[in-house]
Structure 1
Amino acid sequence: MSQILPKQAQAVIIGGGVVGCSVAYHLAKLGYTDVVLLERKKLTSGTTWHAAGLVGQMRSSLNLTQMVKYSGNLYETLEAETGMATGYRRTGSVSLATNQERLTEYKRNASLAKVHGVDVQILTTDELRDKVNFFNLDDVVGGAWIPKDGKADPANVAMALAKGAKNKGVKIFEDVKVTGILKENGKATGVQTEFGEIQSEVVVNCGGMWAREVGKMAGVSVPLHACEHFYFLTSAVPGLGDMPVVRVPDESAYYKEDAGKILVGLFEPNAKPWAQNGIPDDFCFDQIQDDLDHCMPYLELAMNRVPVMESLGIETLFNGPESFTPDDNFQIGESPELGNFYVAAGFNSIGIQAAGGAGKYLAEWIIAKEPPCDLWDVDIRRNQSFQSNKTYLANRVTETLGYLYENHFPYHQYETARGLRKTPLYDFFKERGACFGEVAGWERPNWFVPKEMIGKVEPKYEYSWGRQNWFEFHKLEQLAIRETVGMYEMSSYAKIRVKGSDAMDFLQLVCANDVNVEPGKMVYTQWLNDKGGIEADVTVTRLESDDYLIVSGTVCLNRDMHWLQKNMPKDANCSLFDSTSSEGCIAIMGPNSRDLLQSLTDADMSNESFPFANVRNIEIGMANVRAHRITYVGELGWELYFPIEFSSYVAELIDEKGIEFSLRQIGMHTVDSCRIEKAYRHFGHDITDEDHVINAGLGFAVKLDKKPSKYGNFIGYDSVQSKKTAGYDMRVMQFLLNNSDLMLYHNEPILKNGEIVGHLTSGTYSHTLGSAVGLGYIPCKPNESQEDILSADYSIEVEGVIEKCKVSLKPMYDPLNEKIRI
């Protein structure tokens, strides 16, 4: 049957699941009066119709928690607004722990929940019995109770959102397949369908498990892959009532009441990817062939957990597809590859929980042309293009589905889809005892087995919430950085070149610091948004008058490239390109670094000849090397850049000569702990796009008095000027626990005079300072003196226990920066 579609719209939304309906509803609510939603078959017919409908209150960050809390609040009000029931009820939820490590995770989550305003209660086994009387608790050591968690009918939620959207003018068309994305000058301009084109200002990909294919039509990477997702349904259970949702993550299962029956859903650690060669064109309200053999181990666990199930029997075994992403976080935001093309997909089985808030946040993002708050954890710009590869995805999602219910230990590393991105030094480090981690696909040494223990100790994580198996090795690495010299690789760090006659003026517009320096000088700077929030934290090196090198965090490449492209004036005579893979980089850091490098080169490495933040071309053996004197660990040191093919030669030369200077190979965990000791900020943890650069303590890197570029003052200038006049309302502090036996990771609550005022944004164990140390923001008055701030009583909550700590507004390690400038 042919469809008569409008020729134009403000926005076209692709996909009629719960997320697409939510985006449509919220765009209309915010004033977009001309929105079209296109669904290839019928509304909810992909994943929404068979979703579990669990609506929890708690996520890993404040903004994501607020997102899902909004969802629950919205679902409570939709019936009154639309006349359609959503089936939403706040039944509460119980999570059971069958071991102490799991209970520790719950205790840490409960501590964080206090910061987020969510009621999470840790209960004893006896306290749990009244809430889950059908469950066998013989091996349960405790659990978590969240009274305001709930559940909803997924299809009804979506249909209520769709009706609310229609009531506000949204046009919804079913049985319309999008066959192409229209684009011009690097921006989406509409869609091609079976029934003609629709021109639009914005295109939104809410395609669910089809979102990767929709993205490919636009030239946009949307890494997600469908998996088989199983649940069982029992016969009716007498006296069941409206029981809370029960999660037993140690057995990969959740339980909920469903029309008087018990539904048991699985998140097994050995998931089955589905439709790797494409989803069938006629897929609509379909299910997949069941696999009892695959499910039987979990069914047996469930029958032991809920003994009544043995007498009831299983009425239904259901297998339906859901999409999962490489890191278990969903994809939201404007694509870095194509302007005005937005994505909201890959919700990893929390689509109903997140849909209300995700639709609201994305609608606000579309209208304001910027995210409404820090959403970096789920921002689509975090992805790498290779992650859309279907073989990579099929391997990774076998693990990420089950990881939802794994214990989320600190320093966790995925085991699947590994080994794709290796620098030439991979084998060099492997031979020297490296335990590798993965960031953006790059294999990087996180820690090393000491030389004398290689072959006796396997370089493999043994996870724990306490001191992990590499704790003492970490101490040796940290002491080397602080007392002798360490070497680590930075080849994976994002490297962007900006070249052209307008390169300086363009970067003066983007950078808050003054980058109009002599060639051979380095500048530490932030890129700000109009609110003064930090969009990037980078070093900028002027190599030549018209040639700059930007170095940033490994995962920030696409985000940073997108920011530069988005803000480059149309008439700017300059170009930018990703140079990450063209140059290798080794960092040599520590008190002996100068002596080590001086023994390898005839260049003068003295402070007088080679001061801090300067760059020199030097020779090391047969290699021409560009040496940058800079540090991220708070010690004298250099970053050495060279053609990537020189990597092995340079590393082996330094390693061999380094024996004379007590050189030790260093992993990324030690780099991180050293930077936290020095109170250096880390983008994504300590600084984000909603943290004002002044509050972040980085005002020293902002130059209001620099000469404006030909394009005007730098982005964020007015906000910084106003903030400097108004003064701080937040300050970054460093916290050192008095109890040296405990560990800090991040997210632990900060208490001031007994009241929670924030949380740690970073945490680590400092062998130099002798205890766990962290960074975090505390509120303050604009004119409050440092003495008044420091005179308060501060403490940190760790696993539900209030712990005393020392505090400082300056770095506790080398507060005067004497070590880096000698």
Structure 2
Amino acid sequence: MSKPIPSKARAVIIGGGVSGCSVAYHLARLGWTDVVLLERKQLTCGTTWHAAGLIGQLRGSQNMTRLAKYSRDLYVRLEEETGIGTGMKQNGSITVALTEERKQEIYRQASLARAFDIDVREISPEEAGQMYPHLNVSDVRAAVHLPLDGQCDPANIAMALAKGARQHGASIIEGVKVIEVLSANGRVTGVVCEQGGEQYTIETEHVVNAAGLWGRDLAAKSGVTVPLHACEHFYIVTEPVPGLSQLPVLRVPDEQAYYKEDAGKILLGAFELKAKAWPPLGTSVREDFCFDQLPEDFDHFAPILEMAVNRMPMLETVGIHTFFNGPESFTPDDRYYLGEAPEMKGYWVAAGYNSIGIVSSGGAGMALAQWMNDGEPPFDLWEVDIRRAQPFQRNRAYLRERVTETLGLLYADHFPYRQMATARGVRRSPIHEHLKARGAVFGEVAGWERANWFAGEGQAREYEYSWNRQNWFLNQRDEHMAVRTGAGLFDMTSFGKIRVEGRDALAFLQRLCANEMNVEPGRIVYTQMLNSRGGIESDLTVTRLSETAFLLVVPGATLQRDLVWLRKHLADEFVVVTDITAAESVLCVMGPKSRELISRISPNDLSNAAHPFGCAREIEIGMGLARAHRVTYVGELGWELYVSTDQTAHVFEALEEAGADIGLKLCGLHTLDSCRIEKAFRHFGHDITDEDHVLEAGLGFAVKTGKGEFIGREAVLRRQEAGLARRLVQFRLVDPEPLLFHNEALVRDGRIVGTVTSGNYGHFLGGAIGLGYVPCLGESAADMLQSVYEIEVAGTRHAAIAALKPMYDPTAERVRA
């Protein structure tokens, strides 16, 4: 007899895999007893039932690692709580490197693990062979061992979570298909579902899309963007191996393989570099899909198996018990989705786990439940925030092409600056072809093609990846020094541009922004939008265009997030928020010769008296018009020229011609980053997040508590009174050879105290530069600077010089020249 479907619920969760069950469990534990989970067929029948169940604690950031460690601990205690065995074993893991580049990668990961307080040890190839007796270590260069990693039974974990949810009052109903999510006035109002041929409506204000393989299509029915697409994922299980004892999980990323001992058998799985998207183009997942396997493709798996037989010689004689092929969902950037969808209030997402759903779902379910309960995330979750998704990314042709790459990237070398190769060219600046013709090598952010560096005459226009100096290092140096000594031109059309206007626009922005917004038209204000904890939700400039109109400029990657934040906080105010990103291009002319250059093609007065720093006004340029903003992200005299897209190519050509005899250099995003880090300018998402207090980030100069109430003001006042617990510090390595990227361990007086939040090479300062937070409760600036600092790079510690003021132009004389 089927379970009755309620007419009302506080939250409806769609999908009975490990993700949906985790959200139900954690909501119920928070006291949300009126929670209903609907599963179209049977619990775990989509992807969860055939997951490999690897539990690796170390992820790419502190908070993702925090979630993975939470999952591990949860799965250990679930068995006692529910009586269902989770199969959780902390048998450890070993990752081996077959190349010098991979050795540096896994050693960097080991340094990061130490910074995150994870038990880790670099081991020799011989030690790896002793710990994994069947392993051929003849060509192994290095290995890393994490003793508290492990493995589990995925289906049983989902069942234990489901039982725990029921024990705390949630209702779980199988055999119910969700047909539609209802909404009114931009928020969820209910769910229409079907059971046994009958339709039912559940009234609710919260829906969680944990539908996995079906997540994209379900969301699209509501106009919600959830960009994910399945790929075929292969593994084999051997016949029983006589005498096989419990072994650590083994990863051999250079051969795209992982190995798991289970019940005396070996499971060999693969993340091949070129995956197979599923289902076939123009089709959808079958209506009756339930615990299904996909057709075998042994030819596709054969290269992995061939390498595995060499790596694990016993596989040559043991039989294959199972050849498995099943679908798993992947996203365009290999990071899952969590949070409230920007298109609809009350529509939450927990999907797209990229083959790490088991280790992620415990923590992700906890974080999402807390987010739903409190109205804000428990800590910085920007890496997996659904608001990073771009609307165009729900296009199935785009997704189908991209996910064939993202599956393989899980085990590919995670080189710094690695660029996606598939599904490119979707969003382009009006001068894209001009830049391409001049040697631009493009990267992609939020779908935008952006020139990262410019190749020289006869130089290959492609990346040669490495953990050491890559093939564009000297190109970046030349671009960097041109900005410092002459003039550089950047195409920053990808900036997000938001127009906020209306009778109440000033009052609205005064409430959201920490700096003073009541300035004269034409003034530019650098500011942050804060949350109630004083954390940074947005880092932006605001230009007052008129009494009732403002232009907000934000990073292209955060545009959707910023739009949501603005619209979420609109009260009963006469304000219109409009995304105008595509309407204007941005050409940045930066460097000590920038005034001379622009003056050659503009009759307007660009002197300090007529056009001081922090001002914007319309100028004539070439035969067109631009709004010239005198601001900088590189620490030099310069202007951002906002040009109507139809005039962009003309203005670019005029600038290029005028700059020919003064050495105007076309510059890429790598140079923008190396210049900004010399000036210690912060990067949102790395150096500053919603978890970082604005005062501890060193941005107190942009906060005006005396202007009246604004979001985060009380948190700022409390921190001013209590004192700072940590401060963002700039570092330069004494040795000019090592490179910093981000996440290197930060060492103070011999003890790891944090990580480098962002890093690049300071070509003017002559060494790698990094930023990072240092604990400082009760300490003065002098106390902090008296310490001895080092930065650990791939296990080796390098002496570093620390500074609280920018090492480059600390008094900003060059900016105001």
Length-normalised TM-score, structure 1: 0.98
Q: Is the 8 A contact 2:732 2:767 kept in 1?
A: yes
Amino acid at match of 1:99: T
Deviation at 1:171, TM superposition (A): 0.5
Q: Which residue of 2 aligns with 1:604?
A: 605
Aligned pairs for 1:714-793 (under 5 A) are 714-782=710-778, 784-793=779-788
Aligned pairs for 1:291-370 (under 5 A) are 291-370=297-376
Q: Which residue of 1 aligns with 2:683?
A: 682
Amino acid at match of 1:405: Y
Q: 1:226 aligns with which of 227, 230, 240?
A: 230
Deviation at 1:2, TM superposition (A): 6.3
Q: Which residue of 2 aligns with 1:698?
A: 699
Q: Which residue of 1 aligns with 2:577?
A: 576
Amino acid at match of 2:719: K
Q: Which residue of 1 aligns with 2:796?
A: 801
Once residues 99 and 395 of structure 1 are traced to their aligned partners in structure 2, the CA distance between those partners, rounded to angstroms, is 29
**Is 1:274 matched up with 2:278?**
yes
Amino acid at match of 1:319: N
Structure 2: tracts of 5 or more residues without a match: none
Amino acid at match of 2:426: L
Q: 1:483 aligns with which of 457, 463, 485?
A: 485
Once residues 743 and 320 of structure 2 are traced to their aligned partners in structure 1, the CA distance between those partners, rounded to angstroms, is 41
Q: Which residue of 1 aligns with 2:209?
A: 205
Deviation at 1:313, TM superposition (A): 2.7
Deviation at 1:55, TM superposition (A): 0.8
**Is 1:258 matched up with 2:262?**
yes
**Is 1:285 matched up with 2:281?**
no
Q: 1:815 aligns with which of 810, 813, 817?
A: 810
Deviation at 1:243, TM superposition (A): 0.9
Amino acid at match of 2:224: V
Once residues 426 and 122 of structure 1 are traced to their aligned partners in structure 2, the CA distance between those partners, rounded to angstroms, is 45
Q: Is the 8 A contact 2:240 2:265 kept in 1?
A: yes
Deviation at 1:660, TM superposition (A): 2.0
Q: Which residue of 2 aligns with 1:8?
A: 8
Q: Which residue of 2 aligns with 1:70?
A: 70
Secondary structure of the equivalent of 1:705? helix
Secondary structure of the equivalent of 2:383? coil
Q: Which residue of 2 aligns with 1:381?
A: 387
Q: Is the 8 A contact 2:112 2:745 kept in 1?
A: yes
Secondary structure of the equivalent of 1:342? strand
Amino acid at match of 2:645: I
Secondary structure of the equivalent of 1:544? coil
Once residues 79 and 724 of structure 2 are traced to their aligned partners in structure 1, the CA distance between those partners, rounded to angstroms, is 44
Once residues 190 and 113 of structure 2 are traced to their aligned partners in structure 1, the CA distance between those partners, rounded to angstroms, is 42
Deviation at 1:76, TM superposition (A): 0.7
Deviation at 1:4, TM superposition (A): 2.4
Secondary structure of the equivalent of 2:680? coil
Deviation at 1:608, TM superposition (A): 1.0
Deviation at 1:546, TM superposition (A): 0.8
Q: Which residue of 2 aligns with 1:663?
A: 664
Deviation at 1:312, TM superposition (A): 1.0
Aligned pairs for 1:143-154 (under 5 A) are 143-154=143-154
**Is 1:410 matched up with 2:416?**
yes
Once residues 768 and 593 of structure 2 are traced to their aligned partners in structure 1, the CA distance between those partners, rounded to angstroms, is 26
Once residues 188 and 756 of structure 2 are traced to their aligned partners in structure 1, the CA distance between those partners, rounded to angstroms, is 40
Amino acid at match of 2:80: A
Deviation at 1:407, TM superposition (A): 0.9
Q: Which residue of 2 aligns with 1:539?
A: 541
Q: Which residue of 2 aligns with 1:494?
A: 496
TM-superposition CA deviations, 1:724-757 (whole Å, max 9, x none): 2222111111110011110000111111111111
Structure 1: tracts of 5 or more residues without a match: none
Once residues 795 and 423 of structure 1 are traced to their aligned partners in structure 2, the CA distance between those partners, rounded to angstroms, is 41
TM-superposition CA deviations, 1:516-562 (whole Å, max 9, x none): 11111100000000000000000000011111100000100100000
Q: Which residue of 2 aligns with 1:31?
A: 31
Once residues 492 and 124 of structure 1 are traced to their aligned partners in structure 2, the CA distance between those partners, rounded to angstroms, is 46
Amino acid at match of 1:659: A
Deviation at 1:218, TM superposition (A): 2.2
Q: Which residue of 2 aligns with 1:397?
A: 403
Once residues 493 and 202 of structure 2 are traced to their aligned partners in structure 1, the CA distance between those partners, rounded to angstroms, is 45
Once residues 303 and 752 of structure 1 are traced to their aligned partners in structure 2, the CA distance between those partners, rounded to angstroms, is 46
**Is 1:237 matched up with 2:241?**
yes
Once residues 201 and 26 of structure 1 are traced to their aligned partners in structure 2, the CA distance between those partners, rounded to angstroms, is 18
Q: Which residue of 1 aligns with 2:119?
A: 119
Secondary structure of the equivalent of 1:344? strand
Deviation at 1:315, TM superposition (A): 2.1
Moved over 6 A (4+): none
TM-superposition CA deviations, 1:626-664 (whole Å, max 9, x none): 100000000000000111011111111101111122100
TM-superposition CA deviations, 1:712-732 (whole Å, max 9, x none): x11011111111222211111
TM-superposition CA deviations, 1:243-268 (whole Å, max 9, x none): 11111111111000122111100100
Once residues 364 and 626 of structure 2 are traced to their aligned partners in structure 1, the CA distance between those partners, rounded to angstroms, is 47
Q: 1:248 aligns with which of 235, 247, 252?
A: 252
Once residues 698 and 664 of structure 1 are traced to their aligned partners in structure 2, the CA distance between those partners, rounded to angstroms, is 31
TM-superposition CA deviations, 1:119-169 (whole Å, max 9, x none): 121111111111111111111111111100110001000001100111111
Amino acid at match of 1:592: K
Amino acid at match of 2:427: R
Corresponding residue pairs, total: 811
Deviation at 1:781, TM superposition (A): 2.1
Amino acid at match of 2:721: T
Once residues 208 and 248 of structure 2 are traced to their aligned partners in structure 1, the CA distance between those partners, rounded to angstroms, is 35
TM-superposition CA deviations, 1:3-22 (whole Å, max 9, x none): 52101111110000001001
Stretch deviating more after TM superposition (684-693 or 233-242)? 233-242
Q: Which residue of 2 aligns with 1:632?
A: 633
Amino acid at match of 1:49: W
Once residues 427 and 621 of structure 1 are traced to their aligned partners in structure 2, the CA distance between those partners, rounded to angstroms, is 20
Once residues 731 and 3 of structure 2 are traced to their aligned partners in structure 1, the CA distance between those partners, rounded to angstroms, is 63
Once residues 621 and 737 of structure 1 are traced to their aligned partners in structure 2, the CA distance between those partners, rounded to angstroms, is 44
Q: 1:426 aligns with which of 412, 432, 455?
A: 432
Q: Which residue of 1 aligns with 2:470?
A: 468
Q: Is the 8 A contact 2:187 2:205 kept in 1?
A: no
Secondary structure of the equivalent of 2:400? helix
**Is 1:371 matched up with 2:380?**
no
TM-superposition CA deviations, 1:204-223 (whole Å, max 9, x none): 11101111112112211001
TM-superposition CA deviations, 1:572-610 (whole Å, max 9, x none): 111011100000110000000000011111100111111
Aligned pairs for 1:28-177 (under 5 A) are 28-177=28-177
Once residues 174 and 611 of structure 1 are traced to their aligned partners in structure 2, the CA distance between those partners, rounded to angstroms, is 66
Once residues 620 and 80 of structure 1 are traced to their aligned partners in structure 2, the CA distance between those partners, rounded to angstroms, is 72
Once residues 320 and 785 of structure 1 are traced to their aligned partners in structure 2, the CA distance between those partners, rounded to angstroms, is 58
TM-superposition CA deviations, 1:49-84 (whole Å, max 9, x none): 000000111001111101010111111111111111
Stretch deviating more after TM superposition (114-123 or 159-168)? 114-123
Amino acid at match of 2:807: M
Amino acid at match of 1:379: D
Once residues 2 and 72 of structure 1 are traced to their aligned partners in structure 2, the CA distance between those partners, rounded to angstroms, is 34
Amino acid at match of 2:424: R
Length-normalised TM-score, structure 2: 0.99
Aligned-CA RMSD value: 0.9
